[in-house]
Chains A and B, each alone.
Chain A
Amino acid sequence: MNEELIIGIDLGTTNSLVGVVDSGFPLVLADREGGRLTPSCVSWATSGEPLVGKEAFRSRMISPERTVSSIKRFIGRTFSDLTAQEREDAGFPLVAGRYDEILVAIDPETLATPEEISALILARLKKIAEEALEMPVSRAVITVPAYFNNTQREATKRAAGLAGLTVERIINEPTAAALAYGLDKLEESATVAVYDLGGGTFDLSILQMRDGFFEVISTAGDTRLGGDDLDRVIARHFAATLALGELSPGEEATLLARAREVKEALSIEDSVTARFPFFRGSASFELELSRPALEKLLTPVIERTRPIARRAFAEAASKGVAEVERLILVGGSTRIPLVREKLQEWFGLVPDISQHPDESIALGAAIQAGMLCGRVRQIILVDVTPLSLGIETFGGLMNVIIPRNSTIPVKAGELFTNAVDHQESMAIRVLQGERELAKDNWLLGEVTVPFTPGPKGSARVGVQFAIGLDGILEVLARDTVTGEDHVLEIRNAAIDVDDEAVERMVSESIDCAFDDMNERIWTEAKLKSEELLPAVGEALALVGHLVPADDLAGIEAATARVRSALESESHDSTALKSANAALDEATQTLAAILVEAAFSGLDS
C-alpha cells in the first residue's frame, strides 16, 4: 500500500499545497506548524542551504534581491521571450543562459534555473507529505495552469524529477478544481465554468459533468495574469501618491507586501490605512485607501479576464454547449468582491463560492492521484489540449496538425517525403499557438525526420504527433519498411555555444543587467508614449464633446506631463513610465466613451 501512494500537488505562483486521498476523501496535508499553504518562495538570504517556504517568505523584506518568489511565471520560458517590464517586475536579477534559458542570478556564484527553484519548493512539499503520512513518498500528480504550453509542462515535470518525485500525471488546475467540486455530485448532470484566478495565472475552463464523466469542452487563459499584477498596481499607486520617485529593491518589496495586505484587508473592510514606518531613513508614511478607490485601481486588471472568459464561452457554444449553469470560483484572487461582482455582471450567473479558493486545486490533484492508485473510482476525466499544435511550412506559416481544445490523448499523422534526390533527413519545426505566422507562435523545438536515401519523392516517413494525458507532446516516426515507431527527440532550436563564451556572457550580463535595463525600459516606455499621444488627439476629435470637463483637464495635464518627460535629456525611464501610466489612467473614461459610441452606432 505504501509503495502505491501518490500525492497531489498544487504548485502555485504564490503558494503551494500537497494533498492525498484518505478513506475516499481528499485532504490537504499540514506542515509541522499546522500550516497548509507553503509560500512558493526560495531565499538565499543566509549562507548555506537556501531557505524554502515560510522562512524564505519572511526574508523577502530583509534580502529582497536574494529572495525568489513567483518563479512559476518564468518556468519553461526563454530569456528572449521576456519583456524588460517582466524582468524589472521579477524583483530579482535574471540573466540568459547558453540555450537562451532563464537563470536567476543571486550572485555570480549562485545561478539557478526556474526548474531548480521549483524543485526546491516541490522537495519541501514532498517532505511535508512524508512527515504528515509518516512514510516515504515518491510519486505525484502535479497541477499546471490549463493554458501552460508543452515546454512549461515539461519543465514542471523536470522540476519534479529534480525533487525526487515521479510525475504520474500533470493535470490542469481548473480541471482539478472541477474534480474537487464534483466529487460529491456524481449523480448530477451539469455544465460548469471554472474561473481560476490565482497568484500569477488565469484560466477559464468549461466542463460538462455527466454520468461520472468530467469532460472539458473548452479552455482559455493567460499565464501572466493574477494576484501579483493586482499587487503591483496597488504598489504603483502607493509610490505615485506618496511621490516616492526611484525605489530601492527593499522599498519595492515593502510596497508590494503592503499592497498585498491592503488588497486582502479591503476584501473585508471598507477602508484601510497602509502604514510605512521608517520607510526611507527616519521618514514614515501612511496612506488611506477605500474599497471604491481600490476597485478603480483593480478594474483594468480584472477586465483583462473578460475577453479570455468570453472566448472560452464562445468556443464551448460553437461545440454545441451553449448554456453554462454554474460558475465556480477558485484561486486566491477570487476572494476580491469586485471579481465576484464583475462576473455576475458579465455572465449573469451568481458565482459559486462553495470551493476553498486556495485548496480546491490541491484537493483535485489529490483526487486525480487517488484515481491513479485505485483509491477513487467512478470518475472518468476527459481533458483537452489548450493550444493548437502545428509545424512550420515553407513560407513561414503554421500548419495546424492538432487543433486546440482537442480531447486528449490525441494523435495525428503527417506523411513526409524527400524533396530532392538522396536527401538524408528533414528538419521540422514544431509550434504551439493560434497565430498564422510560424514566428508568432511558440517554437517547441525541432525534430529530424530520417529518410532512406533514394530519388526525390521515394522516401515515405509517417510522423505521428501525439499529445498524452499530461498535455505533453511526443513525436514518433514510423518506418514504412519495418512498421516500427520510434520517438524523435524534440531539440531546442537555439544554437549551441562553447562553455567559455557562456561564462563570459553570463558574467557580463550580470554586470550590465541593470544598466542595460534602464535603456530598454526607456525604449519600451517611449513606444508607449508614441502610441498614446496621437491616439489621445484622435479620440478627442471624435468624442471630445462627450467627455466631462474634469476629465478633459486631467487628460490635458497628463498629456503635458508625458511630453515633458519625453523631452528630458536624462532619459528618466521612471518618470516617463509614471507619466504614461497617469495618461493611461486619465484616458480610461475617454476609452469607455469611445467603446460605447462604437456599440451605439449599431442601433442607429
Chain B
Amino acid sequence: MTNYFALLGLPEALSLDPEVVETSWREKSRALADSSSGSEAPLDHPDLNQARSTLADPALRLAHWLALRAPDSPADRSIDPSLMDLFSAISPVLEKTDKLLASHRRATTALTRAMLTHEAIDVQLQIQELLQRIQPLRSSLTGQFDDLEKAGGEDDFQPATRALGQLKFLKRWEEQCRERLLSLIAC
C-alpha cells in the first residue's frame, strides 16, 4: 500500500493542518509537471490526488494511519451511545426528504413544483439542524487524535479503531445530509 504521508513528504501524524497537505500537494504536482515534457509524459498522478484527498479528511486520514500502523486491527462497527440520538433523528428526515424529492422529480410544471416549496423549506431547515449536530461530535473525536497516537505508540490501537468507527458513521451521515441538501437546493 502506498504511504500517502511519505508520498507528500509529511510526518505520519494524525493531526495535520489541511493547509500543509495542500502546499505539499501543490509542490509535488508542480515538480511532476515540470519534469514531464508535453504529451510524452502526461501529468498523470492519481496517487498524489488520492494522498491529498485522504490526508485532508480526518476520517480517511485516521483510516490510512491505522492501515499503515495496524493493518490487521478489526473494524469497530458499533454505534457509540453518544451518537444514538442523532442516528434516530437522521433516518426519518432523510426518508421524508427522499419522498419529497421523488414528488419533485415527477412534477413537470412550475405549479406542481411550487406546491412542494413549503415542505422543501421545512426539510432543508431540519437537515441543517442535523448537520449542526454532527459538527461538535466530530470535533470531539478529532480532538482525541493526539491521545490515539500516544496509545498507538504503545501498540494499543483499540481506541483508534473505535474512534474511526464513529467518525465513519458521522462522515456517512454528513454526506447523506449534504447530498439531500444539495438536491433540495437544486429543486
Q: Are A373 and B111 in contact (CB under 8 A)?
A: no
Tell me if A557 is interfacial: C-beta within 8 Å of chain B.
no
Q: Are B39 and A6 in contact (CB under 8 A)?
A: yes
Q: Are A466 and B46 in contact (CB under 8 A)?
A: yes
| Of A587, A597, A601, the contact of B109 (CB 8 Å cutoff) | A587
Tell me if B99 is interfacial: C-beta within 8 Å of chain A.
no
Q: How far is the CA of A539 from the CA of B118 in the complex (A)?
A: 12
- 1/0 contact trace for A1-28 toward B, CB 8 Å? 0001010000000000000000000000
Tell me if B82 is interfacial: C-beta within 8 Å of chain A.
no
Tell me if A233 is interfacial: C-beta within 8 Å of chain B.
no
| Of A310, A468, A584, the contact of B111 (CB 8 Å cutoff) | A584
Q: Which residues of B contact A466 (CB under 8 A)?
A: 46
A307-B185, A468-B44 are known contacts. Are A599 and B121 too (CB-CB below 8 A)? yes
Tell me if A289 is interfacial: C-beta within 8 Å of chain B.
no
Q: Are B185 and A314 in contact (CB under 8 A)?
A: yes
Q: Are B39 and A168 in contact (CB under 8 A)?
A: yes
Interchain nearest-CB distance for B22 vs A (Å): 10
- Nearest CB in chain B to that of A586: its residue: B111
Interchain nearest-CB distance for A264 vs B (Å): 26
Q: Are B109 and A584 in contact (CB under 8 A)?
A: yes
Q: How far is the CA of A502 from the CA of B21 in the complex (A)?
A: 56
Tell me if A436 is interfacial: C-beta within 8 Å of chain B.
yes
The stretch of A153-161, A352-360, A401-409 that contacts the partner chain: A401-409
Q: Are B42 and A311 in contact (CB under 8 A)?
A: no
The stretch of B3-11, B25-33, B153-161 that contacts the partner chain: B25-33
Q: Are A539 and B115 in contact (CB under 8 A)?
A: yes
| Of A307, A410, A434, A587, the contact of B46 (CB 8 Å cutoff) | A410
Q: Are A315 and B121 in contact (CB under 8 A)?
A: no
Tell me if A501 is interfacial: C-beta within 8 Å of chain B.
no
- Nearest CB in chain A to that of B39: its residue: A372
Tell me if B117 is interfacial: C-beta within 8 Å of chain A.
yes
Q: Are A539 and B179 in contact (CB under 8 A)?
A: no
Interchain nearest-CB distance for B7 vs A (Å): 14
Tell me if A281 is interfacial: C-beta within 8 Å of chain B.
no
Those of A285-317 within 8 Å (CB) of chain B:
300, 307-308, 310-311, 314-315
| Of A318, A528, A602, the contact of B178 (CB 8 Å cutoff) | A318
Tell me if B73 is interfacial: C-beta within 8 Å of chain A.
no
Q: Which residues of B contact A403 (CB under 8 A)?
A: 175
Q: Which residues of B contact A318 (CB under 8 A)?
A: 178
Q: Are B108 and A528 in contact (CB under 8 A)?
A: yes
Q: Which residues of B contact A409 (CB under 8 A)?
A: 44-46, 49
Q: Which residues of B contact A4 (CB under 8 A)?
A: 38
Q: Which residues of A contact B52 (CB under 8 A)?
A: 407
Q: Is the interface of B mostly helix, strand, loop or mixed?
A: helix
Tell me if B43 is interfacial: C-beta within 8 Å of chain A.
yes
Those of A446-469 within 8 Å (CB) of chain B:
466, 468-469
Tell me if A497 is interfacial: C-beta within 8 Å of chain B.
no
Q: Are A307 and B110 in contact (CB under 8 A)?
A: no
Q: Are A311 and B186 in contact (CB under 8 A)?
A: yes
A539-B115, A584-B109 are known contacts. Are A372 and B38 too (CB-CB below 8 A)? yes
A409-B49, A469-B44 are known contacts. Are A538 and B115 too (CB-CB below 8 A)? yes
Q: Which residues of A contact B120 (CB under 8 A)?
A: 598
Q: How far is the CA of A539 from the CA of B111 in the complex (A)?
A: 8
Q: Which residues of B contact A371 (CB under 8 A)?
A: 38
Q: Which residues of B contact A411 (CB under 8 A)?
A: 46, 50
Q: How far is the CA of A307 from the CA of B53 in the complex (A)?
A: 27
A587-B111, A591-B111, A598-B118 are known contacts. Are A213 and B26 too (CB-CB below 8 A)? yes
| Of A307, A436, A532, the contact of B112 (CB 8 Å cutoff) | A532
Those of A420-459 within 8 Å (CB) of chain B:
434, 436
Q: How far is the CA of A447 from the CA of B82 in the complex (A)?
A: 42
Q: How far is the CA of A434 from the CA of B107 in the complex (A)?
A: 19
- 1/0 contact trace for B169-187 toward A, CB 8 Å? 0000001001101110111
Q: Are B182 and A373 in contact (CB under 8 A)?
A: no
Q: Are A373 and B39 in contact (CB under 8 A)?
A: yes
A6-B39, A599-B121 are known contacts. Are A407 and B49 too (CB-CB below 8 A)? yes
Q: Which residues of A contact B49 (CB under 8 A)?
A: 406-410
Tell me if B114 is interfacial: C-beta within 8 Å of chain A.
yes
Interchain nearest-CB distance for A475 vs B (Å): 14
Tell me if A380 is interfacial: C-beta within 8 Å of chain B.
yes
Q: Are B115 and A531 in contact (CB under 8 A)?
A: no
Those of A182-228 within 8 Å (CB) of chain B:
211-213, 220
Q: Are A407 and B53 in contact (CB under 8 A)?
A: yes
Tell me if A566 is interfacial: C-beta within 8 Å of chain B.
no
Tell me if A588 is interfacial: C-beta within 8 Å of chain B.
yes
Q: Which residues of B contact A37 (CB under 8 A)?
A: none
Interchain nearest-CB distance for A23 vs B (Å): 17
Q: How far is the CA of A211 from the CA of B25 in the complex (A)?
A: 13
Q: Which residues of A contact B38 (CB under 8 A)?
A: 4, 371-374
Q: Are A535 and B178 in contact (CB under 8 A)?
A: no
Q: Are B111 and A307 in contact (CB under 8 A)?
A: no
Q: Which residues of B contact A324 (CB under 8 A)?
A: none
| Of B26, B108, B181, the contact of A314 (CB 8 Å cutoff) | B181
Q: Are B30 and A380 in contact (CB under 8 A)?
A: yes
Q: Which residues of B contact A601 (CB under 8 A)?
A: 118, 121
Tell me if B140 is interfacial: C-beta within 8 Å of chain A.
no
Q: Are B106 and A594 in contact (CB under 8 A)?
A: no
Q: Are A300 and B110 in contact (CB under 8 A)?
A: yes
| Of listed A403, A411, A538, A591, residue having the most chain B CB within 10 A | A591
Q: Are A469 and B182 in contact (CB under 8 A)?
A: no
- Nearest CB in chain B to that of A220: its residue: B186
Those of B95-112 within 8 Å (CB) of chain A:
98, 106-112
Q: Are A535 and B186 in contact (CB under 8 A)?
A: no
Q: How far is the CA of A198 from the CA of B122 in the complex (A)?
A: 35
Q: How far is the CA of A538 from the CA of B45 in the complex (A)?
A: 56
Tell me if B113 is interfacial: C-beta within 8 Å of chain A.
yes
Tell me if A592 is interfacial: C-beta within 8 Å of chain B.
yes
Q: Which residues of B contact A372 (CB under 8 A)?
A: 38-39, 42
- Nearest CB in chain B to that of A436: its residue: B98
Q: Which residues of B contact A177 (CB under 8 A)?
A: none
What 3 A-B pairs have minimum CB-CB distances, sorted nearest first?
A591-B114, A374-B38, A598-B117
29 A-B pairs within 8 Å (CB atoms) are namely A6-B39, A211-B30, A300-B110, A307-B186, A308-B186, A311-B185, A314-B185, A372-B39, A373-B39, A374-B37, A406-B49, A468-B44, A469-B42, A469-B44, A531-B107, A532-B111, A535-B109, A536-B111, A539-B115, A591-B109, A591-B113, A592-B114, A595-B117, A598-B114, A598-B117, A598-B118, A598-B120, A598-B121, A599-B117
Q: Which residues of A contact B (CB under 8 A)?
A: 4, 6, 168-169, 211-213, 220, 300, 307-308, 310-311, 314-315, 318, 371-374, 380, 382, 403, 406-411, 434, 436, 466, 468-469, 528, 531-532, 535-536, 538-539, 584, 587-588, 590-592, 594-595, 597-599, 601-602
Since A311-B186, A594-B114 are in contact, a sample of 7 more A-B pairs with Cβ atoms closer than 8 Å, ordered by chain A residue number, is A372-B42, A407-B52, A408-B49, A469-B42, A535-B109, A590-B114, A594-B118
